[in-house]
């Protein structure tokens, strides 16, 4: 069902109409327009063509052409998270930001940077590090994930606890809209979008409102010394949750805090400290006192890869992101454990101190995973939490990625209709089929 209330690009009318792809070749250059292959499919939905604009003006022109021709478009950066969200209802053109790969401006004295959407996170961090600075987020697959993709999926990690999420760090964006105009926050506005906070609005919108072409961020200094991570083994998930809450309520300035739990071992809590050597040592001493009821197991920064490790052999498992109150992390673990044991499944959880977390479920029969996910989501939503399913194994059956949008759906729908009235961008991929 086309819940977005817009025409369906690439549908019956577009399929029967003659589309002049030569016009796209003229806009982009024939060498940068190619037939799509199997690897270009988005969640099993094949595309017809892939185009790689050289700059944001070319991208905006190509998007306008697609919008006028009723051609459904999916923006793509590094392709690391194309499996997130719902499958598109239809797809004919992928607009790649591969060639939008410049760091436009690094105002190091002002702790700001402007980068094009196709810049990889690894490249950006390397450039910032030359001036002792960083963008204080830790996304998945940093060497391949691009700035536009990270924003579109709102992918931040454990550093969020100390420095805030992407919506706190992004201070400006330039956005190509389906009608071909460029809207930007701050400075001279090319298109009138008064009343919208564009950076916050497009963060996490999965490319359904416009295509991010560049973004500006506030930066933070690199820590003066290598950080330290302490790990404590707790006797139960309740003890792990207790330690999380006590560390959060303390005056410690930790830059990472997470609990790791799984079906076959006792849970562990990791806490990371950055700063001067003396400051780190003092904070470690305080943390050990707070964790006196747990067992310290060692120091290793590798534990912060635990979230990414949930994706190992992801074609055989479901991976989902959840949000609960920090005080309910133990309850979330118990909910997952009960659902997994009922279906004879293995499970793993990585939960940040903020209450955001990730869960992995593995089952011999993928169909069992769907039942477990439905059960876990219902339990989370009853407790004012949520569950976003980022990956489903083949054979697990259809399930909406976000669950119930609740009272926010009418507002989200109206925003979609304001920015993309013809439903050109990623039709069906967002909340409620928007």
pLDDT at 334: 97
CATH top-level class of 225-403: alpha beta
Tokens 């979008």 map to which residue? 193
Q: What is the 3-state secondary structure (H, E, C) of the chain?
A: CCCCCCCCCCCHHHHHCCCCHHHHHHHHCHHHEEECCHHHCECCECCCEEECCCCHHHHHHHHHHHHHCCCCEEEECCCCCCCCCCCCCCCCEEEECCCCCCEEEEEHHHCEEEEECCCEHHHHHHHHHCCCEECCCCCCCCCCCEHHHHHHHCCCCCCHHHHCCHHHHEEEEEEECCCCCEEECCCCCCCCCCCCCHHHHHCCCCCCCCEEEEEEEECEECCCEEEEEEEEECCCHHHHHHHHHHHHHCCCCCCEEEEEEECCEEEEEEEEEEECHHHHHHHHHHHHHHCCCCEEEECCHHHHHHHHHCCCCHHHEEEEEEECCHHHHHHHHHHHHHHHHHCCCEEEEEEECCCEEEEEEECCCHHHHHHHHHHHHHHHHHCCCEEEEEECCCCCCCCCCCCCCHHHHHHHHHHHHHHCCCCCECCCCCHHHC
Whether 8 has a pLDDT exceeding 80, the answer reads no
- Model confidence at 192: pLDDT above 60: no
The Cα 261–Cα 398 span in angstroms is: 27
Q: Residue 418: which pLDDT band, with cuts at 50, 70 and 90?
A: very high
Q: How many CB atoms lie within 10 A of CB 153?
A: 24
Say how far apart CA 224 and CA 80 lie, in whole Å.
Answer: 31
Q: What is the pTM of this model?
A: 0.92
**Backbone φ and ψ of 40, nearest 5°:** -90, -5
* pLDDT range class, residue 16, cuts 50, 70, 90: very low
Between 398 and 60, the more confident residue is: 60
For the chain, which residues make up each domain, given as ranges?
12-97+412-433, 103-221, 225-403
* pLDDT digit string, tens, across residues 272-315: 999 999 999 999 999 999 999 999 998 899 999 999 999 998 88
Whether residue 416 contacts residue 7, with contact meaning beta carbons closer than 8 Å, is answered with no
Give me the phi and psi of 4, to 5 degrees please: -75, -5
Per-residue pLDDT tens digits for 314-330 = 888 999 999 999 999 99
24: how many CB neighbours lie within 10 A of its CB? 22
Domain 12-97+412-433 has CATH 3.30.43.10: yes
**So what's the pLDDT on residue 1?**
32
Kindly give, in sequence order, each residue whose CB lies less than 8 Å from that of residue 253, ignoring residues fewer than 6 positions away: 162, 273, 275, 283
**116 pLDDT higher than 50:** yes
Phi-psi region of 298 (alpha: psi -120 to 50; beta: other; left: phi over 0): left
Interval 348-376 mean pLDDT: 93
For residues 347 and 326, give the distance between their C-alpha atoms in angstroms, rounded to a whole number.
20
Q: Is the pLDDT of residue 12 over 50?
A: no
User: Quick one: average pLDDT of 231-253?
Assistant: 97
CATH number assigned to the domain covering 103-221: 3.30.465.10
Cα–Cα distance measured from residue 404 to residue 410, given in angstroms and rounded to the nearest whole number = 12
Q: Which two tokens stand for residue 8?
A: 């369906």
Tokens linked to 390: 């980022």
Tokens 């940040």 label which residue? Answer: 352
CA distances from 424 to 46, 78, 209 (A): 16, 21, 9
Q: Which residue has the tokens 């702790």?
A: 111
């Amino acid at each position: 069902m086309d819940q977005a209330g817009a025409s369906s690009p690439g549908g019956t009318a577009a399929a029967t109409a003659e589309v002049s792809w030569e016009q796209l070749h003229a806009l982009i250059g024939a060498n940068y327009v190619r037939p799509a292959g199997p690897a270009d499919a988005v969640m099993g939905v094949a595309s017809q063509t892939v185009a790689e604009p050289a700059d944001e003006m070319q991208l905006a022109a190509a998007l306008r052409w697609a919008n006028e021709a009723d051609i459904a478009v999916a923006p793509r950066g590094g392709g690391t998270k194309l499996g997130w969200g719902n499958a598109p209802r239809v797809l004919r053109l992928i607009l790649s930001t591969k060639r939008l790969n410049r760091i436009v401006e690094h105002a190091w004295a002002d702790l700001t940077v402007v980068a094009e959407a196709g810049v990889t996170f690894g490249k950006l961090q390397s450039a910032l590090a030359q001036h002792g600075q960083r963008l204080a987020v830790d996304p998945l697959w940093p060497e391949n994930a691009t700035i536009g993709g990270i924003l579109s999926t709102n992918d931040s990690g454990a550093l969020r606890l100390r420095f805030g999420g992407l919506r706190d760090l992004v201070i400006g964006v330039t956005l190509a809209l389906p009608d071909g105009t460029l809207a930007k926050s701050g400075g001279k506005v090319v298109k009138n979008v008064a009343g919208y906070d564009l950076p916050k609005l497009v963060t996490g919108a999965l490319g359904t409102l416009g295509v991010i072409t560049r973004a500006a961020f506030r930066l933070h200094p690199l820590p003066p010394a290598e950080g330290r991570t302490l790990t404590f083994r707790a006797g139960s998930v309740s003890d792990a949750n207790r330690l999380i809450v006590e560390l959060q309520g303390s005056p410690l300035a930790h830059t990472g805090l997470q609990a790791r739990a799984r079906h076959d071992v006792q849970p562990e809590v990791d806490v990371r400290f950055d700063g001067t050597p003396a400051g780190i040592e003092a904070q470690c001493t305080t943390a050990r006192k707070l964790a006196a009821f747990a067992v310290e197991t060692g120091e290793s920064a590798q534990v912060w890869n635990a979230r990414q490790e949930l994706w190992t052999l992801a074609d055989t498992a479901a991976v989902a992101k959840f949000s609960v109150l920090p005080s309910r992390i133990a309850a979330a673990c118990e909910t997952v454990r009960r659902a997994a044991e009922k279906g004879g499944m293995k499970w793993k959880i990585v939960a940040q101190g903020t209450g955001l977390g990730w869960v992995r479920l593995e089952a011999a029969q993928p169909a069992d995973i769907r039942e477990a996910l439905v059960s876990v989501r219902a339990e989370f939503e009853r407790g004012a939490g949520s569950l976003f399913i980022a990956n489903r194994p083949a054979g697990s059956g259809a399930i909406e990625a976000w669950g119930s949008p609740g009272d926010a759906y009418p507002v989200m729908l109206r925003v979609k209709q304001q920015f993309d009235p013809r439903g050109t961008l990623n039709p069906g991929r967002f909340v409620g089929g928007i």
